[in-house]
Amino acid sequence: MPEITGVLPHSRAARAGVLAGDWLLEINGHPIRDVLDYRFRLAEERIVLKLHRGPEIIEVSVKKNVYDDIGLEFGTPLMDKKHRCENGCVFCFIDQNPPGMRETIYFKDDDSRLSFLHGNYVTLTNMKDEDIDRIIEMRISPVNVSVHATNPDLRVRMMKNKRAGQVLGYLRKLADAGIALRGQIVLCRGLNDGDELDRTMKDLGELWPAMDSVSVVPVGLTAFREGLYPLEPFSPEECGAVIRQIERFNGEFGRTHEAEDGGPARLIFPSDEFYVKSGVPLPPDEFYGDYPQIDNGVGMLASLIHEFRSALSLMDDGECEAVDRTVSVATGEAAYGTISMLARELESRCPMLKIRVFPVKNRFFGGEVTVTGLLTGGDIAARLEGEDLGEVLLLSRTTLRAEGDLFLDGMTPEELSKRLGVPVEFADNDGAALLDALCGM
C-alpha cells in the first residue's frame, strides 16, 4: 500500500480530510498497489478512499468530475519501487558500463508500468498472469516488449531466464485482447540473426495488427566486456545484408497485409545504425509512417532531415541574410554525416553563417558506441580543446541526464564551457529546434 506524503491545500482530498502520513488501501473497494491502480480507479465521479491512519482504518468520500485529480502526493512517481530486471541478457548494455559512474546508471529496470508511462521496453519475464490480466482490464496500450527471439529455447539462452520462452505466450493473450504491442529485437551476430531473425519476424507478423511495429537494432558493444558473452559487431556488409533481409520480409508481408492508408503494411524497421554503418541511403520520411519506433533509434535521422528542411523552407531571404555568426556543433560519429549535410544546406541559404561540425569519438565507453546521446563531457572537451569554436558550442540535449545538469561522466555544462572558453547551448532532438539553435533564433 502506498503512503500519502502530501495533500495539496484546498484540494478535494484536503477538504475530505485526507492527511499526509495516511496509507491508501483501497479506492471504491479495489486494492491500490501503485500508480496504475490509482489512476485507473480514480476515474470515477464518486470515490471512496479506504485509509490506514495510525491504529484506525477510515473511509472518506470524494465527489468530482471523472478525470479530475484529488490532490494526493506520493513518495515516488510509481507509488512503489521500480521492478528490477531478473534476466542476465548476454547483450545487456548496463553490464558493459565502465566503473565509477553514478549508482543509478547501473540499475536494471524491467517494469511494465514504465512501458506505459515512459515507453520503456520490458521482457515480460517478471510478469505473471495477474499482471497481464490487469493490463487487459485497464486497457493499457501500447505495451513495448523486448522480444529478441521467438524461438523459446534461444530466448532462454540469450536472456538467461528460464521463464523467457514461456512468457512469449503473453504476446498472443494481449494481442487477442486488443492490446497494442510494439516489439524490439536486439540483433546479436551468430545468435538471433539469419534464420532465427526470419522466424522471429514471421511469428511477430502473426500478431498483426496488435503488433504494429518492430524495431531491429544492432547490439551495442562497449570496450568493457571482459568476462561477458563473446559478441562481435556486424560488419558494414553484414549491416547491408540485414537491411535486405528485413525488406524481403516486409515485401512479402505487405502483399497480404494492408496499412491504414490502404497501401502495403510495413512491420519491421531496421534502426538508423544499420544504414549509417552499411552506407545504404536512409529511407525517406514517408517510409516510417508515424514513426512508432523513433525513441528506439528508428527513423531519428530521417525525421531530423525532414523537420530541418521543412523549417528551412519557411525562412525567407531576409531572415537568412540577417544570420551573422559562427557556431560549432559536436556530435557522435553516427550522426556526423547527417549533421554536416544539413549544416551545408543552411550555410548555402545564410551567407554570413559559418558552422563547424566536429565528430567526437566515444573513448569513455569505447567499442562500437557512436551515438550522440552517450557522449560525455570529458570526450567532448578532449576533442575540442584548441579548436576555434566561434561564438557558441551547440550540443544535443540527449547528452545530458533528464534533469539537464550532468553529462554521463558527471561533468556539468558549466564545467565544459569553462574548459573550452565558449558558451555551451543545447538543442532538442528535433530538426526545427536544431535550425533555430544554429541561427541563434
Q: Which helix (H) or strand (E) holds 124?
A: none
* One domain, residues 241 and 373: no
Summarize the chain as % helix, strand, coil (round to 5).
Answer: 40, 20, 40
* One domain, residues 349 and 275: no
Tell me whether the omega of the peptide bond preceding residue 281 falls within 30 degrees of 0, making it cis: no
* One domain, residues 42 and 151: no
Q: Would you state the pLDDT for residue 118? A: 64
Q: Which helix (H) or strand (E) holds 270?
A: strand 268-270
pLDDT band at residue 63, thresholds of 50, 70 and 90?
Answer: very high
What end-to-end distance do the CA atoms of the chain give, in Å? 49
* Residue, of 368 and 100, whose pLDDT is higher: 368
* Residue, of 276 and 141, whose pLDDT is higher: 276
Single residue among 246, 271, 296 that ends a domain in this structure:
296
Q: Would you state the pLDDT for residue 439? A: 95
* One domain, residues 290 and 324: no
Per-residue model confidence as pLDDT tens digits over 322-333 = 999 999 999 999
**Full domain range(s) for residue 397:** 305-439
Which among 114, 117, 131, 113 has a CA at the least distance from the CA of 170?
131
Average pLDDT of the chain to the nearest whole number: 92
Contact assessment for residue 24 and residue 51, using Cβ atoms and an 8 Å cutoff: yes
Q: How many separate domains does the chain show?
A: 3
* One domain, residues 123 and 55: no
* One domain, residues 280 and 368: no
Q: Give the 3-state secondary structure of residue 115.
A: helix
* One domain, residues 117 and 185: yes
Q: What's the whole-number mean pLDDT along residues 82-88?
A: 80
* One domain, residues 211 and 333: no
* One domain, residues 133 and 270: yes
Give the distance from CA 22 to its chain's centroid: 35
Here the cell at position 433 is 529546434
Most confident of 47-56, 189-198, 398-407: 189-198
Contact assessment for residue 365 and residue 312, using Cβ atoms and an 8 Å cutoff: no
CATH of the domain at 281: 3.80.30.10
* One domain, residues 241 and 193: yes
Query: What is d(CA 12, CA 72) in angstroms, rounded to the nearest whole number?
Result: 9
* One domain, residues 143 and 231: yes
* One domain, residues 311 and 288: no
